[in-house]
Amino acid sequence: MDKKQKQKEQGIAQVLLARAHSPDEANRIYTEKIQQRPLFLAPSSPPPADARERRRRERQKKKDLRKKALKPKPLSAKQRRKLGVYEVPKQGQKYATFEPLHNLWVGYIREILGNEIYTGGEGSAAKLSSADFHGAEVEVVRSGCVSRVGIKGIVIKDSKFAFEIITRKNQLKLVPKEGTIFRVELPAPTPEKAADQDQDQEMKDVATEVKDVEEEPPKMVFEIHGDQFMYRSSDRATKKFKAHFLRKL
């Protein structure tokens, strides 16, 4: 009985220390590290001097709480799907609407590749892997689902697992990346045109009239393996792709 009463008087900290250490060592640890340990308090502002100042602080506090309550919270993924934030409306599902986006993408990808648009190689492959494909014109050349082969159009949404493509017939197609190979044809500017950019417009018109048959401009053709491309465009921009053997090929 005396032992239990003594434990109550000592406190839980001393009882636990006594179980692990000798009595002298337990008393020393309790005195140095617990009993004499300073308690740090966060500094607080002094109380208001008068009632007027107290009322002013209360009004300011209510005003700050109201501002915080009025601040809109970001939508969750479920709410965004329910509201259809990222869905293209029916009246906007037209190929002609996204042709300017495709022209912008062609200029963007030409600027990224530079002279590698003519030579290709590992350098261009790394740049294309981290590029954004919103606005690219792609064609499905191989797929686990045969009905998807031949779909061709402009990419209007490059998500993690699928491409949303608008075709020339104004049809919106959702094509999964898994098990699909996409072909991209990028028109490359001819070296002659690049060298003649500083010439007068009249000289270009004369050179065009002399040619009886117009040659088809050169194109850089590459294929995207969807199985290795299942990343968002923002994630691909910071990811390092390494060349390795693929058993499926």
Q: Is residue 248 part of a domain?
A: no
State the residue range of the domain holding 139: 89-236
> In the listed set 56, 87, 118, which residue is the last one of a domain according to the structure?
87
Q: Is residue 181 part of a domain?
A: yes
Are residues 81 and 119 located together in one domain of the fold? no
Q: Determine contact, residues 164/238, Cβ cutoff 8 Å.
A: no
Q: Is residue 43 part of a domain?
A: no
Are residues 107 and 229 located together in one domain of the fold? yes
Query: Which of residues 129 and 4 earns the better pLDDT score?
Result: 129
Q: Is residue 144 part of a domain?
A: yes
Are residues 202 and 143 located together in one domain of the fold? yes
Q: For the whole prediction, is pTM greater than 0.85? A: no
Q: How many CB atoms lie within 10 A of CB 204?
A: 13
Are residues 67 and 165 located together in one domain of the fold? no
Tokens of 113: 């590749």
Indicate the pLDDT class of residue 53, thresholds 50, 70 and 90.
confident
Are residues 105 and 25 located together in one domain of the fold? no
Segment among 106-110, 120-124, 160-164, 226-230 with least mean pLDDT: 120-124
Are residues 126 and 77 located together in one domain of the fold? no
Q: Is residue 21 part of a domain?
A: yes
Are residues 20 and 143 located together in one domain of the fold? no
Are residues 208 and 109 located together in one domain of the fold? yes
Q: How many CB atoms lie within 10 A of CB 70?
A: 7
Are residues 96 and 184 located together in one domain of the fold? yes
Are residues 74 and 93 located together in one domain of the fold? no
Are residues 178 and 229 located together in one domain of the fold? yes
Indicate the pLDDT class of residue 141, thresholds 50, 70 and 90.
very high
3-state secondary structure the chain: CHHHHHHHHHCHHHHHHHHHCCHHHHHHHHHHHHHCCCCCCCCCCCCCCCHHHHHHHHHHHHHHHHHHHHCCCCCCHHHHHHHCCCCCCHHHCCHHHHHHHHHHHHHHHHHHHCCHHHHCCHHHHHHHHCCCCCCCEEEEEEECCHHHCCCEEEEEEECCCEEEEEECCCCEEEEECCCEEEEEEEECCCHHHHHCCCCCHHHHHHHHHHCCCCCCCCEEEEEEEHHHCCCCHHHHCCCCCCCCCCCCC
Q: How many domains does the chain have?
A: 3
